[in-house]
């Protein structure tokens, strides 16, 4: 098969649109699926065809495997792209797609199954010579965990073997809290993943989260697209990512990239994937492999010029990767901010609702991946991510400057968002220096400075809303930006 004629995208929002854009450039027709609340969503309007997949709850819509495959066959689609989230790393779904004579745009279901087990994948990589954190190699009991924890030393972290997104994780500082953490982790793992297996490993206090994007075709041609830093997180979920990692040296990149490629080859990997490491004090450790397209693929595309989604489609169609490792180079730096419909002052509580006014940023070096529009109502039942804002510059300082400017131009009225938090981060002295770690929000005073940035954002939005009531939209946008700049100037140098 040289290429696909029609693809179903088994997802929603910005990632569905991202995949469809690649398809449109390649002349491939697209099929969207949507739940009833999403019938007016942007991805539905963008696709060539769209089918209702079920009711609002994900279990009856975006997770309805049989119905999705039924729609794919009915529409004449040859392949299914899962995006990320929902069914993207579900080996049963990938197996079902294959069994129905369709192509799953991702790795083989056996690879997804093998890498979906944190315990099994760690064991596999340890045998392959990839550094892993010490801990229990099998599903653990409180008694076994206590013995291992004493051996490797506290603190340790309890993790769900089948988990992701920080669900079921518990940090344990001493032996007294270990049993309760394991039992809680098992309950949460069973409820969230249908698998109560948990394990413990050594907990690094202030590590950096560094990952490598990899590509592999069916003929064993495996390479990497360099590194990303993903240490700015809340509740173990990423908020800001950048490429390349600001502390990366040629020697460290050589070692880590070779490990990343070894992980992919050991797993028999095909298509696009991401190998994630924790880095601390000169050492790095394999954490997991994400067997799908990553949210933050945009920054890798920005610094390499390689369209990762197009590569996914080509590999799934049986084509070889058309370039070698030495052909991939880094140009400049890129930062991605995940804009969520959340109130960062209220412990990141989701704030779904109707977008009453919307204006996206633009200009040099700015990319916006979004699935919302003015008048769109953000549903309660789905992820709070509403847009990904990417800024590219010839170097990291320019990327930061462009991100600040883009945030000042971004207008979202109707829901609270994480835009003020991202602005606070872009002005934080330690972020500017690249001195980040996975506890940055909590340990570096970011949340203490946040109210100031929230007030500035509210002033900007209030000025905009007042001008809009007078029907002066162009004037309103200018006034909003001016209000922001005035607030920044009054703040002096304290946030710079």
User: With 0-12 CB in 10 A as exposed, 13-18 as middle and 19+ as buried, what is 490?
Assistant: exposed
Q: Select which of 292, 367, 396, 416 is catalytic.
A: 292
Task: 115-120: list long-range contacts, CB under 8 Å, 24+ apart.
Answer: 115/267, 115/288, 115/289, 115/291, 116/89, 116/91, 116/162, 116/291, 117/161, 117/162, 118/159, 118/160, 118/161, 118/162, 118/163, 118/199, 118/288, 119/161, 119/197, 119/199, 120/161
Residue 292 annotated to the active site: yes
- The order of strands in the sheet holding 6-9 is 49-54, 29-35, 6-9, 79-81, 103-104
The half-sphere exposure of 136 on its side-chain side, counting CA atoms within 13 A, is: 24
Phi, psi of 180 (to 5 degrees): -60, -40
Query: Can you spell out the DSSP letters for 32-48?
Result: EEEEGGGTT-HHHHHSS
Question: In whole angstroms, what is the distance from residue 30 CA to residue 32 CA?
Answer: 7
* CA diameter of the chain: 69
User: With 0-12 CB in 10 A as exposed, 13-18 as middle and 19+ as buried, what is 133?
Assistant: buried
First-to-last CA distance in the chain?
54
Question: In whole angstroms, what is the distance from residue 463 CA to residue 180 CA?
Answer: 50
**Residue 466, CA distances (Å) to 409, 456, 477 in order:** 17, 15, 11
**Residue 16, CA distances (Å) to 7, 33, 34, 305 in order:** 11, 9, 11, 21
Cβ atoms of 329 and 304 closer than 8 Å:
yes
Question: In whole angstroms, what is the distance from residue 401 CA to residue 208 CA?
Answer: 23
- Tally of CB atoms within 10 A around 364: 10
Helix (H, G, I), strand (E, B) or coil at 429: helix
Question: In whole angstroms, what is the distance from residue 222 CA to residue 269 CA?
Answer: 8
Tokens 């729609």 identify what position? 71
Angle between the N-to-C axes of helices 419-426 and 446-469, in degrees from 0 to 180, rounded to the nearest 10: 130
Tokens 């995208």 identify what position? 9
Cβ atoms of 289 and 276 closer than 8 Å:
yes
Contacts of 197 (CB under 8 A, 6+ apart): 119, 139, 160, 161, 162, 186, 189
Supply the residues annotated as catalytic: 292
């Amino acid at each position: 098969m040289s290429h696909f004629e029609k693809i179903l995208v088994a997802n929603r929002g910005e990632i569905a649109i991202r995949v469809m854009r690649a398809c449109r450039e390649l002349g491939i027709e697209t099929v969207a699926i949507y739940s009833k609340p999403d019938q007016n969503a942007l991805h539905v309007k963008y696709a060539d065809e769209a089918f209702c997949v079920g009711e609002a709850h994900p279990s009856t819509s975006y997770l309805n495997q049989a119905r999705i495959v039924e729609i794919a066959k009915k529409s004449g689609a040859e392949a299914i792209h899962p995006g990320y989230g929902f069914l993207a790393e579900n080996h049963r779904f990938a197996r079902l797609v294959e069994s129905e004579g369709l192509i799953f745009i991702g790795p083989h279901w056996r690879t997804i199954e093998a890498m979906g087990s944190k315990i099994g994948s760690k064991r596999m990589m340890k045998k392959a010579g990839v550094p892993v954190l010490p801990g229990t190699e099998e599903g653990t009991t409180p008694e076994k965990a206590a013995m291992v924890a004493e051996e490797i030393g506290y603190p340790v972290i309890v993790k769900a073997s089948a988990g992701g997104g920080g669900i079921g994780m518990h940090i344990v500082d001493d032996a007294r809290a270990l049993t309760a953490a394991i039992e809680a982790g098992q309950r949460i793992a069973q409820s969230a993943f249908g698998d109560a297996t948990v394990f413990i490993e050594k907990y690094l206090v202030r590590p950096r989260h560094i990952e490598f994007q990899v590509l592999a075709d069916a003929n064993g041609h495996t390479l990497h697209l360099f590194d990303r830093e993903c240490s700015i997180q809340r509740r173990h979920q990423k908020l800001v990512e950048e490429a390349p990692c600001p502390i990366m040296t040629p020697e460290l990149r050589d070692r880590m990239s070779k490990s990343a490629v070894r992980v992919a080859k050991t797993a028999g990997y095909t298509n696009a994937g991401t190998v994630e490491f924790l880095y601390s004090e000169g050492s790095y450790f394999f954490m997991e492999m994400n067997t799908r397209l990553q949210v933050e693929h945009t920054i890798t595309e920005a610094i390499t010029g390689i369209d990762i989604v197009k590569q996914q489609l080509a590999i799934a169609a049986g084509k070889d990767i058309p370039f070698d490792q030495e052909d991939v180079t880094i140009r400049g730096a890129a930062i991605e901010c995940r804009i969520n419909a959340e109130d960062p002052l209220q412990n990141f509580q989701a704030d779904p609702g109707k977008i009453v006014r919307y204006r996206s940023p633009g200009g040099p070096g700015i990319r916006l991946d979004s699935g919302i529009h003015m008048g769109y109502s953000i549903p309660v039942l789905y992820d709070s991510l509403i847009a990904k804002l990417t800024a590219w510059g010839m170097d990291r300082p320019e990327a930061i400057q462009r991100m600040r400017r883009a945030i000042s131009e971004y207008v979202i009225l109707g829901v609270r968002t994480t835009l003020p938090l991202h602005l606070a981060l872009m002005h934080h002295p330690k972020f500017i220096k690249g001195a980040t770690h996975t506890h940055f929000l909590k340990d570096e005073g970011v949340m203490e400075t946040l109210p100031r940035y929230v007030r500035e954002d509210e002033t900007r939005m209030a000025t905009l809303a007042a001008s809009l009531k007078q029907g002066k939209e162009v004037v309103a946008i200018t006034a909003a930006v001016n209000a922001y700049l005035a607030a920044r100037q009054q703040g002096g140098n304290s946030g710079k």
